[in-house]
Protein backbone atom coordinates (compact mmCIF):
# COMPACT_ATOMS: atom_id res chain seq x y z
CA UNK A 1 0.00 0.00 0.00
CA UNK A 2 2.36 2.62 -1.21
CA UNK A 3 0.24 5.75 -1.41
CA UNK A 4 3.15 7.74 -2.63
CA UNK A 5 2.88 11.22 -3.96
CA UNK A 6 5.12 14.18 -4.42
CA UNK A 7 3.11 17.30 -3.92
CA UNK A 8 4.27 20.80 -4.69
CA UNK A 9 3.03 23.42 -2.32
CA UNK A 10 -0.03 25.14 -3.75
CA UNK A 11 -0.25 28.81 -4.67
CA UNK A 12 -1.93 29.69 -1.42
CA UNK A 13 1.25 28.72 0.35
CA UNK A 14 3.46 30.95 -1.75
CA UNK A 15 3.68 33.59 0.98
CA UNK A 16 4.63 30.97 3.56
CA UNK A 17 7.20 29.51 1.20
CA UNK A 18 8.71 32.94 0.53
CA UNK A 19 8.94 33.62 4.27
CA UNK A 20 10.64 30.26 4.84
CA UNK A 21 12.98 30.98 1.95
CA UNK A 22 13.99 34.29 3.48
CA UNK A 23 14.65 32.59 6.80
CA UNK A 24 16.67 29.83 5.20
CA UNK A 25 18.97 31.72 2.84
CA UNK A 26 21.99 30.92 4.97
CA UNK A 27 20.39 28.61 7.49
CA UNK A 28 19.62 25.22 6.09
CA UNK A 29 19.26 22.51 8.68
CA UNK A 30 22.43 23.63 10.42
CA UNK A 31 25.34 21.49 9.46
CA UNK A 32 28.90 22.48 8.79
CA UNK A 33 30.07 20.74 5.69
CA UNK A 34 28.48 22.21 2.62
CA UNK A 35 26.13 25.06 1.95
CA UNK A 36 22.47 24.16 1.67
CA UNK A 37 22.02 26.72 -1.09
CA UNK A 38 21.80 23.97 -3.71
CA UNK A 39 18.40 23.25 -2.20
CA UNK A 40 15.54 25.54 -3.10
CA UNK A 41 13.55 26.62 -0.02
CA UNK A 42 11.08 28.47 -2.26
CA UNK A 43 9.80 25.23 -3.76
CA UNK A 44 9.08 23.03 -0.79
CA UNK A 45 8.09 19.48 -1.68
CA UNK A 46 6.58 16.73 0.36
CA UNK A 47 8.04 13.34 -0.50
CA UNK A 48 5.70 10.60 0.68
CA UNK A 49 6.85 7.01 0.60
CA UNK A 50 8.74 4.23 2.33
CA UNK A 51 12.12 4.56 3.99
CA UNK A 52 14.88 2.52 2.38
CA UNK A 53 17.62 3.52 4.80
CA UNK A 54 18.41 6.05 7.52
CA UNK A 55 22.15 6.70 7.37
CA UNK A 56 23.11 8.09 10.79
CA UNK A 57 26.56 9.51 9.95
CA UNK A 58 28.57 12.71 9.83
CA UNK A 59 28.69 15.21 8.40
CA UNK A 60 25.06 14.83 7.24
CA UNK A 61 22.52 12.23 8.24
CA UNK A 62 20.83 10.94 5.09
CA UNK A 63 17.30 9.60 4.74
CA UNK A 64 16.72 7.43 1.66
CA UNK A 65 13.05 7.24 0.68
CA UNK A 66 11.26 5.36 -2.12
CA UNK A 67 8.48 7.56 -3.46
CA UNK A 68 6.39 7.21 -6.60
CA UNK A 69 5.93 10.37 -8.69
CA UNK A 70 2.22 9.54 -8.92
CA UNK A 71 -0.11 6.79 -7.74
CA UNK A 72 0.61 3.54 -9.50
CA UNK A 73 3.96 4.65 -10.90
CA UNK A 74 7.21 2.90 -10.09
CA UNK A 75 8.80 4.30 -6.91
CA UNK A 76 11.95 6.40 -7.26
CA UNK A 77 14.71 6.78 -4.70
CA UNK A 78 15.15 10.17 -2.99
CA UNK A 79 18.15 11.23 -0.88
CA UNK A 80 17.28 13.71 1.83
CA UNK A 81 20.05 15.39 3.81
CA UNK A 82 19.73 16.39 7.44
CA UNK A 83 22.20 17.96 9.88
CA UNK A 84 24.76 15.92 11.88
CA UNK A 85 23.98 13.10 14.35
CA UNK A 86 25.21 15.34 17.21
CA UNK A 87 22.90 18.21 16.27
CA UNK A 88 19.94 15.86 15.73
CA UNK A 89 20.51 14.17 19.10
CA UNK A 90 20.27 17.58 20.76
CA UNK A 91 16.81 18.18 19.32
CA UNK A 92 15.55 14.76 20.37
CA UNK A 93 16.38 12.41 17.51
CA UNK A 94 18.07 9.02 17.82
CA UNK A 95 19.42 6.69 15.14
CA UNK A 96 16.18 4.74 15.63
CA UNK A 97 13.85 7.73 15.09
CA UNK A 98 13.04 6.39 11.65
CA UNK A 99 14.09 3.21 9.89
CA UNK A 100 13.72 0.98 6.84
CA UNK A 101 10.09 0.20 5.98
CA UNK A 102 8.62 3.20 7.81
CA UNK A 103 5.94 5.10 5.90
CA UNK A 104 6.90 8.77 5.93
CA UNK A 105 5.97 12.16 4.57
CA UNK A 106 9.10 14.32 4.38
CA UNK A 107 8.97 18.00 3.62
CA UNK A 108 12.12 19.02 1.75
CA UNK A 109 13.70 21.93 -0.06
CA UNK A 110 14.46 20.11 -3.32
CA UNK A 111 17.72 20.18 -5.28
CA UNK A 112 17.63 23.09 -7.71
CA UNK A 113 19.11 20.91 -10.46
CA UNK A 114 16.00 18.74 -10.49
CA UNK A 115 17.71 15.68 -8.99
CA UNK A 116 15.85 13.45 -6.58
CA UNK A 117 17.32 14.97 -3.49
CA UNK A 118 16.67 17.71 -1.00
CA UNK A 119 17.41 19.44 2.26
CA UNK A 120 15.34 18.23 5.19
CA UNK A 121 12.59 20.40 6.71
CA UNK A 122 10.12 18.15 8.52
CA UNK A 123 9.33 14.45 8.88
CA UNK A 124 5.93 12.93 9.64
CA UNK A 125 5.80 9.25 10.55
CA UNK A 126 2.52 8.30 8.90
CA UNK A 127 1.59 5.39 11.17
CA UNK A 128 2.06 7.25 14.46
CA UNK A 129 1.53 10.82 13.27
CA UNK A 130 4.75 11.83 15.06
CA UNK A 131 6.44 14.92 13.64
CA UNK A 132 10.21 15.54 13.80
CA UNK A 133 12.08 18.72 12.89
CA UNK A 134 15.66 19.98 13.34
CA UNK A 135 15.63 23.72 13.84
CA UNK A 136 18.98 24.97 15.14
CA UNK A 137 17.53 28.31 16.23
CA UNK A 138 15.74 26.50 19.06
CA UNK A 139 19.16 25.73 20.55
CA UNK A 140 20.45 29.26 20.68
CA UNK A 141 20.12 29.83 24.40
CA UNK A 142 21.95 28.28 27.33
CA UNK A 143 20.83 25.72 29.88
CA UNK A 144 18.46 23.64 27.73
CA UNK A 145 17.21 20.27 28.96
CA UNK B 1 83.77 2.93 49.13
CA UNK B 2 83.18 1.01 45.95
CA UNK B 3 82.88 2.83 42.68
CA UNK B 4 82.95 6.22 44.32
CA UNK B 5 85.88 8.29 45.38
CA UNK B 6 85.87 9.97 48.75
CA UNK B 7 85.79 13.32 46.94
CA UNK B 8 82.62 12.33 45.09
CA UNK B 9 81.05 11.13 48.34
CA UNK B 10 81.70 14.44 50.06
CA UNK B 11 80.36 16.31 47.06
CA UNK B 12 77.15 14.28 47.11
CA UNK B 13 76.81 14.83 50.85
CA UNK B 14 77.13 18.57 50.41
CA UNK B 15 74.45 18.46 47.74
CA UNK B 16 71.97 16.86 50.08
CA UNK B 17 70.84 19.57 52.47
CA UNK B 18 67.31 19.13 53.83
CA UNK B 19 66.12 21.94 51.62
CA UNK B 20 66.49 23.45 48.20
CA UNK B 21 63.88 23.86 45.57
CA UNK B 22 62.50 20.44 46.44
CA UNK B 23 61.15 21.82 49.68
CA UNK B 24 58.27 24.05 48.71
CA UNK B 25 56.25 24.62 51.89
CA UNK B 26 52.92 23.34 50.56
CA UNK B 27 50.67 24.83 53.27
CA UNK B 28 52.27 28.24 53.12
CA UNK B 29 52.14 28.24 49.34
CA UNK B 30 48.49 27.15 49.31
CA UNK B 31 47.59 29.99 51.67
CA UNK B 32 49.49 32.50 49.54
CA UNK B 33 47.89 31.19 46.35
CA UNK B 34 44.47 31.64 47.91
CA UNK B 35 45.36 35.17 48.94
CA UNK B 36 46.67 36.08 45.50
CA UNK B 37 43.63 34.61 43.82
CA UNK B 38 41.49 36.66 46.14
CA UNK B 39 43.26 39.88 45.15
CA UNK B 40 42.99 38.93 41.49
CA UNK B 41 46.64 38.26 40.82
CA UNK B 42 46.89 35.30 38.50
CA UNK B 43 50.58 34.71 39.06
CA UNK B 44 52.19 31.59 40.41
CA UNK B 45 53.35 32.15 43.96
CA UNK B 46 56.07 30.01 45.41
CA UNK B 47 58.06 30.24 48.60
CA UNK B 48 61.37 28.46 48.38
CA UNK B 49 63.91 27.65 51.00
CA UNK B 50 65.86 30.74 51.88
CA UNK B 51 68.19 29.63 54.56
CA UNK B 52 69.13 26.19 55.57
CA UNK B 53 71.32 24.39 57.96
CA UNK B 54 71.67 20.65 58.38
CA UNK B 55 68.41 20.35 60.28
CA UNK B 56 66.32 23.38 59.49
CA UNK B 57 64.99 25.08 56.46
CA UNK B 58 63.55 28.56 56.81
CA UNK B 59 61.12 29.90 54.22
CA UNK B 60 62.22 32.84 52.23
CA UNK B 61 60.94 36.19 53.30
CA UNK B 62 60.90 37.29 49.71
CA UNK B 63 58.11 35.84 47.58
CA UNK B 64 59.15 34.61 44.20
CA UNK B 65 56.50 35.84 41.81
CA UNK B 66 57.01 33.80 38.72
CA UNK B 67 56.03 35.59 35.57
CA UNK B 68 54.89 32.41 33.87
CA UNK B 69 51.12 31.81 33.97
CA UNK B 70 49.78 29.44 36.56
CA UNK B 71 50.29 25.99 35.15
CA UNK B 72 49.02 23.53 37.71
CA UNK B 73 46.46 25.69 39.42
CA UNK B 74 43.20 24.66 37.76
CA UNK B 75 41.24 25.86 40.78
CA UNK B 76 42.03 29.42 39.78
CA UNK B 77 40.67 29.08 36.25
CA UNK B 78 37.09 29.92 35.33
CA UNK B 79 34.58 27.12 34.81
CA UNK B 80 34.24 26.52 31.07
CA UNK B 81 32.95 22.96 31.39
CA UNK B 82 29.96 21.70 29.45
CA UNK B 83 29.23 21.73 25.74
CA UNK B 84 29.42 25.04 23.86
CA UNK B 85 26.93 25.37 21.01
CA UNK B 86 27.54 28.16 18.48
CA UNK B 87 25.01 30.92 17.85
CA UNK B 88 24.52 30.34 14.13
CA UNK B 89 21.97 33.12 13.72
CA UNK B 90 24.59 35.56 14.99
CA UNK B 91 27.27 34.09 12.67
CA UNK B 92 24.97 34.78 9.73
CA UNK B 93 23.99 38.23 10.94
CA UNK B 94 27.64 39.26 11.17
CA UNK B 95 28.12 38.67 7.44
CA UNK B 96 26.53 42.11 7.13
CA UNK B 97 27.18 43.68 10.55
CA UNK B 98 30.91 42.73 10.77
CA UNK B 99 31.91 43.03 7.11
CA UNK B 100 35.27 41.47 6.29
CA UNK B 101 37.84 44.06 5.11
CA UNK B 102 38.79 42.03 2.03
CA UNK B 103 41.46 43.38 -0.28
CA UNK B 104 40.09 44.59 -3.62
CA UNK B 105 41.09 41.40 -5.42
CA UNK B 106 39.69 39.20 -2.64
CA UNK B 107 36.44 41.20 -2.60
CA UNK B 108 35.92 40.50 -6.31
CA UNK B 109 36.30 36.75 -5.77
CA UNK B 110 34.01 36.83 -2.73
CA UNK B 111 31.30 38.72 -4.62
CA UNK B 112 31.37 36.03 -7.31
CA UNK B 113 31.01 33.27 -4.70
CA UNK B 114 28.14 35.05 -2.98
CA UNK B 115 26.36 35.43 -6.30
CA UNK B 116 26.87 31.73 -7.05
CA UNK B 117 25.55 30.74 -3.64
CA UNK B 118 22.55 33.03 -3.99
CA UNK B 119 21.82 31.54 -7.40
CA UNK B 120 21.81 28.06 -5.87
CA UNK B 121 25.20 26.89 -7.13
CA UNK B 122 27.26 27.02 -3.93
CA UNK B 123 30.89 26.05 -4.22
CA UNK B 124 31.32 24.04 -1.03
CA UNK B 125 34.66 24.94 0.57
CA UNK B 126 34.76 21.94 2.88
CA UNK B 127 33.15 19.13 0.88
CA UNK B 128 36.52 17.36 0.66
CA UNK B 129 36.24 16.74 4.42
CA UNK B 130 39.57 18.37 5.22
CA UNK B 131 39.34 20.26 8.55
CA UNK B 132 37.83 23.72 8.52
CA UNK B 133 41.00 24.78 10.34
CA UNK B 134 41.80 28.21 11.70
CA UNK B 135 40.12 30.62 11.72
CA UNK B 136 37.09 29.10 9.95
CA UNK B 137 36.31 26.59 12.70
CA UNK B 138 35.73 29.46 15.08
CA UNK B 139 33.95 31.61 12.46
CA UNK B 140 31.41 29.39 10.73
CA UNK B 141 31.07 26.03 12.48
CA UNK B 142 27.54 24.85 13.11
CA UNK B 143 28.84 22.18 15.45
CA UNK B 144 29.44 22.19 19.18
CA UNK B 145 32.81 22.27 20.94
CA UNK B 146 34.19 21.59 24.40
CA UNK B 147 37.09 23.17 26.24
CA UNK B 148 39.39 21.13 28.46
CA UNK B 149 41.84 22.55 30.98
CA UNK B 150 44.92 20.63 31.98
CA UNK B 151 48.14 21.91 33.53
CA UNK B 152 49.79 24.25 31.04
CA UNK B 153 47.27 23.52 28.29
CA UNK B 154 43.84 24.45 27.09
CA UNK B 155 42.37 22.06 24.51
CA UNK B 156 39.43 22.75 22.21
CA UNK B 157 37.72 19.67 20.88
CA UNK B 158 35.08 19.95 18.20
CA UNK B 159 32.60 17.77 16.48
CA UNK B 160 32.13 16.77 12.87
CA UNK B 161 35.31 16.67 10.89
CA UNK B 162 37.13 14.01 12.85
CA UNK B 163 40.34 15.85 13.57
CA UNK B 164 39.02 19.09 14.97
CA UNK B 165 41.36 19.88 17.80
CA UNK B 166 43.23 22.94 19.01
CA UNK B 167 46.06 22.66 21.52
CA UNK B 168 46.69 26.01 23.21
CA UNK B 169 49.80 25.98 25.40
CA UNK B 170 49.50 28.16 28.49
CA UNK B 171 52.77 27.11 30.10
CA UNK B 172 54.58 30.30 29.22
CA UNK B 173 56.35 29.02 26.13
CA UNK B 174 56.78 31.12 23.02
CA UNK B 175 56.05 30.06 19.45
CA UNK B 176 58.72 27.92 17.82
CA UNK B 177 60.75 30.05 15.40
CA UNK B 178 59.52 28.13 12.35
CA UNK B 179 56.53 25.93 13.19
CA UNK B 180 55.43 23.26 10.74
CA UNK B 181 52.32 24.70 9.10
CA UNK B 182 49.09 22.97 10.15
CA UNK B 183 45.33 23.47 9.84
CA UNK B 184 45.05 24.79 13.40
CA UNK B 185 48.46 26.41 13.65
CA UNK B 186 50.67 26.87 16.69
CA UNK B 187 48.74 28.40 19.58
CA UNK B 188 50.06 29.86 22.80
CA UNK B 189 47.84 31.42 25.42
CA UNK B 190 47.90 33.22 28.72
CA UNK B 191 45.30 34.28 31.23
CA UNK B 192 44.44 37.92 31.82
CA UNK B 193 42.11 37.55 34.76
CA UNK B 194 39.39 35.21 33.52
CA UNK B 195 40.12 35.92 29.84
CA UNK B 196 42.19 33.47 27.82
CA UNK B 197 44.30 35.35 25.29
CA UNK B 198 45.40 33.09 22.43
CA UNK B 199 47.96 33.84 19.76
CA UNK B 200 48.02 31.59 16.71
CA UNK B 201 50.52 31.44 13.85
CA UNK B 202 51.81 28.65 11.62
CA UNK B 203 48.53 28.00 9.80
CA UNK B 204 48.73 26.48 6.32
CA UNK B 205 48.05 28.98 3.51
CA UNK B 206 45.20 26.82 2.16
CA UNK B 207 43.16 27.22 5.37
CA UNK B 208 40.15 29.39 4.62
CA UNK B 209 39.02 32.71 6.03
CA UNK B 210 35.37 31.78 5.50
CA UNK B 211 32.07 33.49 6.24
CA UNK B 212 29.91 30.54 5.18
CA UNK B 213 30.39 27.00 3.91
CA UNK B 214 30.50 28.32 0.36
CA UNK B 215 32.04 31.79 0.73
CA UNK B 216 35.63 32.33 1.78
CA UNK B 217 39.21 32.46 0.54
CA UNK B 218 42.41 30.68 1.51
CA UNK B 219 44.42 32.91 3.85
CA UNK B 220 47.35 32.52 1.41
CA UNK B 221 50.00 32.69 4.14
CA UNK B 222 51.23 34.76 7.10
CA UNK B 223 47.95 34.30 8.98
CA UNK B 224 47.99 35.56 12.56
CA UNK B 225 44.97 35.20 14.84
CA UNK B 226 44.64 36.80 18.26
CA UNK B 227 41.67 35.71 20.34
CA UNK B 228 40.21 36.72 23.66
CA UNK B 229 37.95 34.01 25.03
CA UNK B 230 35.85 35.00 28.02
CA UNK B 231 32.48 34.46 29.64
CA UNK B 232 30.05 37.23 28.72
CA UNK B 233 27.41 35.72 31.03
CA UNK B 234 27.22 32.68 33.29
CA UNK B 235 26.63 30.37 30.29
CA UNK B 236 27.66 32.53 27.34
CA UNK B 237 31.19 32.41 25.91
CA UNK B 238 32.56 35.04 23.58
CA UNK B 239 35.53 34.60 21.28
CA UNK B 240 36.73 38.06 20.30
CA UNK B 241 38.93 37.46 17.28
CA UNK B 242 41.41 39.65 15.50
CA UNK B 243 42.33 38.08 12.18
CA UNK B 244 45.44 39.33 10.42
CA UNK B 245 45.68 37.88 6.93
CA UNK B 246 47.77 40.34 4.89
CA UNK B 247 47.28 38.52 1.58
CA UNK B 248 43.47 38.67 1.60
CA UNK B 249 42.53 41.33 4.17
CA UNK B 250 43.32 45.03 3.78
CA UNK B 251 43.53 45.44 7.57
CA UNK B 252 43.04 43.28 10.68
CA UNK B 253 39.47 42.07 10.98
CA UNK B 254 37.87 42.17 14.42
CA UNK B 255 34.83 40.04 15.01
CA UNK B 256 33.16 38.01 17.75
CA UNK B 257 31.62 34.57 17.89
CA UNK B 258 29.14 33.50 20.56
CA UNK B 259 28.64 30.08 22.16
CA UNK B 260 26.00 28.94 24.64
CA UNK B 261 26.70 26.40 27.37
CA UNK B 262 24.61 23.25 27.60
CA UNK B 263 25.01 20.75 30.40
CA UNK B 264 22.26 18.25 29.60
CA UNK B 265 23.73 14.89 28.64
CA UNK B 266 22.26 14.88 25.15
CA UNK B 267 24.45 17.90 24.34
CA UNK B 268 27.70 16.06 24.97
CA UNK B 269 30.10 16.01 22.04
CA UNK B 270 29.81 12.91 19.89
CA UNK B 271 32.30 11.42 17.46
CA UNK B 272 32.12 12.95 14.02
CA UNK B 273 34.11 11.54 11.15
CA UNK B 274 33.41 13.64 8.08
CA UNK B 275 34.43 11.02 5.53
CA UNK B 276 32.04 8.48 7.04
CA UNK B 277 29.26 10.18 5.11
CA UNK B 278 30.92 9.08 1.89
CA UNK B 279 30.25 5.46 2.78
CA UNK B 280 27.39 3.25 3.82
CA UNK B 281 27.55 0.11 5.89
CA UNK B 282 27.59 -3.08 3.83
CA UNK B 283 28.70 -6.73 3.87
CA UNK B 284 31.46 -8.29 1.80
CA UNK B 285 31.36 -11.80 0.29
CA UNK B 286 32.76 -13.30 3.50
CA UNK B 287 30.10 -11.68 5.65
CA UNK B 288 32.35 -8.96 7.08
CA UNK B 289 30.90 -5.55 7.92
CA UNK B 290 32.57 -3.16 5.50
CA UNK B 291 32.19 0.36 4.13
CA UNK B 292 30.69 0.72 0.68
CA UNK B 293 31.25 4.05 -1.09
CA UNK B 294 28.17 6.22 -1.65
CA UNK B 295 28.34 8.10 -4.98
CA UNK B 296 28.79 11.79 -4.22
CA UNK B 297 28.33 15.00 -6.16
CA UNK B 298 29.51 18.32 -4.71
CA UNK B 299 29.44 16.83 -1.22
CA UNK B 300 25.91 15.46 -1.54
CA UNK B 301 25.03 11.82 -1.89
CA UNK B 302 24.18 11.61 -5.57
CA UNK B 303 20.51 10.88 -6.12
CA UNK B 304 20.05 7.84 -8.35
Q: Tell me the domain boundaries of chain A.
A: 5-137
Q: What pLDDT is attached to residue B25?
A: 60
Verify whether the Cβ–Cβ distance A86 to B304 is below 8 Å: no
Verify whether the Cβ–Cβ distance B300 to A79 is below 8 Å: yes
From the number of C-beta atoms within 10 Å of its C-beta (0-12, 13-18, 19+), residue B231 rates as: middle
Q: What pLDDT is attached to residue B18?
A: 43
Q: What pLDDT is attached to residue B62?
A: 40
Q: Average pLDDT over chain B, rounded to whole?
A: 83
How is chain B classified by DSSP, letter by letter? -TTS-HHHHHHHHHT--S-STT---HHHHHHHHHHHHHTT--EEEE--EEEE-SS-EEEPSS-EEEEEEPSS-GGGS----SEEEE-HHHHHHHHHHS---B-HHHHHHHHHHHHHHHTT----SSTT-----TTHHHHH--S-EEEEEETTEEEEEESSSS--EEEEE-SS----SSPPPBSS-EEEEEEETTEEEEEEE-B-TTSEEEEETTEEEE--S--EEEEEEEEEETTEEEEEEEEE-TTTBSS-EEEEEEEEEE-SGGGS-----GGGGGEEEEE-TTS-EEEEEPPEETTEEPP-
- Report the share of chain B in percent with pLDDT over 90: 62
Examine the pLDDT at B140 and tell me if it is beyond 70: yes
B17 band by pLDDT with thresholds 50, 70 and 90:
very low
Q: B220 in the Ramachandran plot: left (φ > 0), alpha (ψ -120 to 50) or beta?
A: left
Examine the pLDDT at B287 and tell me if it is beyond 90: yes
B3 band by pLDDT with thresholds 50, 70 and 90:
very low
pLDDT in tens, B37-62: 544 444 444 454 444 445 555 554 34
Examine the pLDDT at B173 and tell me if it is beyond 60: yes
Whether this prediction's pTM lies above 0.90 is answered by no
B20 band by pLDDT with thresholds 50, 70 and 90:
very low
Query: Who among B88, B126, B298 is closest to A136 (CB)?
Result: B88
Query: Who among B236, B269, B298 is closest to A38 (CB)?
Result: B298
Q: Is A38 on the interface with B (CB under 8 A)?
A: yes
Q: What pLDDT is attached to residue B300?
A: 74
Verify whether the Cβ–Cβ distance A77 to B304 is below 8 Å: yes
Q: For A63, name the nearest residue in chain B, comparing CA atoms only.
A: B301
Instruction: Measure the CA–CA gap between A41 and B208, rounded to whole angstroms.
Output: 27
Q: What are the C-alpha distances in Å from B127 to residues B262, B297, B303? A: 28, 9, 17
B23 band by pLDDT with thresholds 50, 70 and 90:
low
Mutate to test the interface with A, among B146, B266, B275 (most CBs of A within 10 A): B266
**CATH code for A5-137?**
2.40.50
* pLDDT greater at residue B17 or residue B229: B229
Distance from CA of B240 to the nearest CA of A (A): 19
For chain A, residues with pLDDT lower than 50 are 1-30
pLDDT in tens, B60-86: 434 444 444 444 455 689 999 999 999
Residue A65: in which H helix or E strand, if any?
Answer: strand A62-67
Mean pLDDT (whole number) for B90-95: 96
Q: Is A46 on the interface with B (CB under 8 A)?
A: no
Q: For A140, name the nearest residue in chain B, comparing CA atoms only.
A: B87
Verify whether the Cβ–Cβ distance B160 to A59 is below 8 Å: yes
pLDDT in tens, B176-208: 999 999 999 999 999 999 999 999 999 999 999
Verify whether the Cβ–Cβ distance A87 to B143 is below 8 Å: yes
Provide the residue ranges of all domains of chain B, joining segments of one domain with +. Answer: 6-72, 83-267, 273-304
Query: Who among B214, B261, B272 is closest to A84 (CB)?
Result: B272
The reply to whether omega before B135 is within 30° of 0 (cis) is: yes
Task: Indicate the class that CATH gives domain B83-267.
Answer: mainly beta
Which residues of chain A make contact with B80, given a CB cutoff of 8 A?
A: none
Distance from CA of B277 to the nearest CA of A (A): 5
Amino acid sequence: MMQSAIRLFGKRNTVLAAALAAAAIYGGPGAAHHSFAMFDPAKLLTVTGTVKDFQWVNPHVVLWVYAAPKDGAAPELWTIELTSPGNLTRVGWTRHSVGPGDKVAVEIAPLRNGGHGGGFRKLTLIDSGKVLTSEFKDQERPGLQ
Amino acid sequence: MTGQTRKQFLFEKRRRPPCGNQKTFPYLNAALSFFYRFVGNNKEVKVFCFFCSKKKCLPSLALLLQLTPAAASDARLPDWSGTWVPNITDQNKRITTDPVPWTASAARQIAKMQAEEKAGHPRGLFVNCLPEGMPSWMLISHNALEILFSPGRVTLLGESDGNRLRRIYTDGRSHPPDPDPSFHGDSIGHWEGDTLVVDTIGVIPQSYVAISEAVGLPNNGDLHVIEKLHLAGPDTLHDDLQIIAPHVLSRPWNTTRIYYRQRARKYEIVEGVCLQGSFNGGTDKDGNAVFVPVPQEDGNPKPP
